[in-house]
Amino acid sequence: MSNKKLSDLAKTIRSKNAGTDKITFDVIFRAADAYELVKRSGALSRDSVASLLKIDPARITDFVEYDPAYAIKFTILRKRPSGSAGDGDIFGAQQYAPLLDIVIDDAA
Amino acid sequence: MKSLKIICPNGHLGFAPLKVESFRLGVAEKPDYIAADSGSDDIGPVPLGSDTCASPASWQEHDLEQMLLAARELGVPMIIGSAGDTGSNSRVDMYVGMIRDIARRHNLPAFRIGWFYSELDKELVRGKIRSGSAVKGLDARDDLTEDELDATTRIVAMAGVHPFVSLLEEKCDVIIGGRCSDSAVFAAPALYHGFPEAQSYYLGKVLECASFCAEPYGAKETVLGEITDEWVEVTAMHPEQRCTVASVAGHAMYERSNPYHEFVAGGMLDMTDCHYEQVSDKTTRVTGMRFVPAEELRVKLEGSGKVGERYVGMAGIRDPYTISNVDEVMAWGRRQVEERFGPEGWELHFNVFGRDGIMGEMEPLRDRPGHEVLVVVQGVAPTPEMAEEVAITGTRQLFYARLPDVKGTAGGVSFVFDEVLPASPAHRWTLNHTMAVEKPLELFPTATEIVGAKTFADA
């Protein structure tokens, strides 16, 4: 068994506002093999993401495996709308960083 | 086969200037339309609430000038949506004024400009609520209450294709739109020329962010979309960029919670069965899109309400003991504000950069702060004077925080300047809702005029 980080396998890992009340995360792979490997590993799921970000799974409004783009995508509800005073990331563009180090068992 | 070509040089006109080289390559393809959307709710609630732009006027004028000169040179229409970031009435007027100025500066031959407004009177919305037609919340929001409406400073409705099509029917050469859905800017001309709804809305969806549908990554570059009754093709204009199956399919999910469905005023674009095909080096063809008309016409509303005036301060911390007790330090600052102003009527916000300033409670590493941190302090209150005092109390008092075992008793934080700075008034998004309307044009009054006709008569 060997392990890789999600950042070694994915081409793009990003986050961005989806409207004023949600942030959406995209993990996009170059080709089917890495995409299928991560899907099979189960390391990226509603539960794993909720646990990583310490949020109630009910705040994850969508979790989609999007085959045409070799992409896994999920969306979370913000606690307060974007740009409310104290929001540290109005665009939601720097929320993806914890995903980079998710460990994928590539023997899966 | 009948087809129509549209180029888009910028996914958010004015937010950063378009890149001229790929734009000129796009113009050389002799498109039938030049179009771009200027709006976004990414920029937070301040511009809509305070009726300002998020970027300098010179950047917006730069893009409008490039587009207008190219459109008049080709003799094709130019379409802009969501003028000036927010699409409020004053931003529409500002863009129309810029177009007049550019035309005068360049002595352009006469052309017809049309525009529409998207701002909504609060009393119209109140009337809907009182008549029993719920203004429904999106994204887990409750239906709109009159209290929340009262807290709102400004509302814009998000137009679909309808006011654009109406102005095209009036033979406008330049259209400046109020707030609208991004895709409407491109879907409207396609529908006006009789192309099917599915292909037209897909064209809009794929073009709206310009080169974000191309690879390698590089924003503000021009892309060309072409539509027929059967397919949509998208081509990157920048010499180093390509529209690939992966980049185009990937773009379908950008900034949206679901990659398969796109809701617009009047229906839903269904991309579930889209098929992507690389037809040449820089071009991808898309087929299989569907459009599902809505049973009830509902228009999305955006609203922003002012919370208060705002000042900002900053304080750095290097002492590891103080860093590990930074919550105590901030609590001390908050107590000093409470002693001065009482428990309510103001807000004090702290972001601790170097610990969890960006992600807050979601930060997995918030128990492992860096060797130095920066506390950004925001004071919000009804008047500028009070906001300044809240912010400077919340900042200065960090210097005097009383930690039991601190060695450094001469001052608990570092300052890069010993003052607080005026910031934009704090606002919040009060509306992210939909409202039922009977006619698609009823919220969006249009107007037209001839620009440039009087060049000789005036002389």
Q: Which of B340, B455, B454, B325 is nearest to B402 (CA)?
A: B325
Q: Which residue of B has its CA nearest to A52?
A: B364
Cα(A30)–Cα(A24) distance, integer angstroms: 20
B256 contact residues in A (CB cutoff 8 A)? 18, 24
CA B30 to centroid of chain Cα atoms: 29
Task: Kindly determine whether residue B378 and residue A55, on different chains, have CB atoms separated by under 8 Å.
Answer: no
Paired strand residues for B42: none
Q: Does A19 touch chain B (CB under 8 A)?
A: yes
Task: Concatenate the DSSP letters of all residues of B246-315 into one string.
Answer: HHHHHHTTTTSS-SSEEEETTEEEE-TT-EEEEEETTEEEEE--EEEE-SS-EEEEEEEEEEEEEEEEEE
Task: Kindly determine whether residue B46 and residue A79, on different chains, have CB atoms separated by under 8 Å.
Answer: no
A17 contact residues in B (CB cutoff 8 A)? 41-42, 255
Task: Kindly determine whether residue A84 and residue B139, on different chains, have CB atoms separated by under 8 Å.
Answer: no
Task: Kindly determine whether residue B426 and residue A85, on different chains, have CB atoms separated by under 8 Å.
Answer: yes
A69 contact residues in B (CB cutoff 8 A)? 246, 249-250, 252-253, 259
pLDDT of residue B61: 95
Task: Calculate ∠ Cα B322-B325-B331, nearest 5°.
Answer: 110
A91 contact residues in B (CB cutoff 8 A)? 42-43
Which residues 6+ apart lie within 8 Å of B19 measured at CB? B9, B220, B221, B222, B238
Q: Which residue of A has its CA nearest to B255?
A: A18
pLDDT of residue A68: 84
Query: Which pLDDT tens digit goes with each residue over B137-191?
Result: 999 999 999 999 999 999 999 999 999 999 999 999 999 999 999 999 999 999 9
A85 closest CB neighbour out of B257, B364, B380: B380
CA distance A108 to chain B (A): 25
A69 closest CB neighbour out of B42, B250, B359: B250
Q: Does A65 touch chain B (CB under 8 A)?
A: no
Q: Which residue of B has its CA nearest to A22?
A: B139
B302 contact residues in A (CB cutoff 8 A)? 20
Per-residue pLDDT of chain B (459 residues; tens, 9 = 90+): 799 999 999 989 988 899 999 999 999 999 999 999 999 888 999 999 999 999 899 999 999 999 999 999 999 999 999 999 999 999 999 999 999 999 999 999 999 999 999 999 999 999 999 999 999 999 999 999 999 999 999 999 999 999 999 999 999 999 999 999 999 999 999 999 999 999 999 999 999 999 999 999 888 999 999 999 999 999 999 999 999 998 999 888 887 888 899 988 889 999 999 999 999 999 999 999 999 999 999 999 999 999 999 999 999 999 999 999 999 999 999 999 999 999 999 999 999 999 999 999 999 999 999 999 999 999 999 999 999 999 999 999 999 999 999 998 889 999 999 999 999 999 999 999 999 999 999 999 999 999 986 645 444
Cα(B86)–Cα(B51) distance, integer angstroms: 8
pLDDT of residue B457: 46
Query: Which pLDDT tens digit goes with each residue over A46-62?
Result: 999 999 999 999 999 99
Q: Report yes or no: B452 and B104 within 8 Å, Cβ to Cβ.
A: yes
pLDDT of residue A3: 87
pLDDT of residue B256: 83
Reading the block at residue B167, the tokens are 């102005």
CA distance B455 to chain A (A): 44
Q: Which of A7, A22, A3, A28 is nearest to A78 (CA)?
A: A22
Complex-level ipTM beyond the 0.90 threshold: yes
Task: Kindly determine whether residue A19 and residue B254, on different chains, have CB atoms separated by under 8 Å.
Answer: no
The burial of B136, by beta-carbon neighbours within 10 Å (0-12 exposed, 13-18 middle, 19 or more buried), is given as: middle
Range of the domain at A96: 4-104
Reading the block at residue B294, the tokens are 């809505």
How many independent structural domains does chain A possess?
A: 1
B274 closest CB neighbour out of A68, A83, A86: A68
Task: Kindly determine whether residue B358 and residue A24, on different chains, have CB atoms separated by under 8 Å.
Answer: no
pLDDT of residue A107: 72
Q: Which of B65, B74, B81 is nearest to B162 (CA)?
A: B81
CATH code at A16?
A: 3.30.70
B44 contact residues in A (CB cutoff 8 A)? 82-83, 87, 90
A70 contact residues in B (CB cutoff 8 A)? 246
Query: At which residue do the structure tokens 């469905």 appear?
Result: B261
Paired strand residues for B286: B232, B276
pLDDT of residue B454: 62
Reading the block at residue B51, the tokens are 């009726």
pLDDT of residue A108: 59
**In which band, very low, low, confident or very high, does the pLDDT at A1 lie, cut at 50, 70 and 90?**
low
Q: Report yes or no: B153 and B431 within 8 Å, Cβ to Cβ.
A: no
Q: Does A51 touch chain B (CB under 8 A)?
A: no
Q: Which of B199, B318, B143, A9 is nearest to B189 (CA)?
A: B199
Cα(B6)–Cα(B417) distance, integer angstroms: 50
Buried b (16+ CB within 10 A) or exposed e, B289-304: bbbeeeeebbbbbbbb
pLDDT of residue B453: 66
Task: Kindly determine whether residue A61 and residue B140, on different chains, have CB atoms separated by under 8 Å.
Answer: yes
- Give SS3 for B100: helix
Query: Which pLDDT tens digit goes with each residue over B349-401?
Result: 999 999 999 999 999 999 999 999 999 999 999 999 999 999 999 999 999 99
Paired strand residues for B274: none
DSSP A69: G
Q: Report yes or no: B251 and B212 within 8 Å, Cβ to Cβ.
A: yes
Distance set, CA B435 to CA B41, B156, B378, B429 (Å): 18, 12, 34, 16
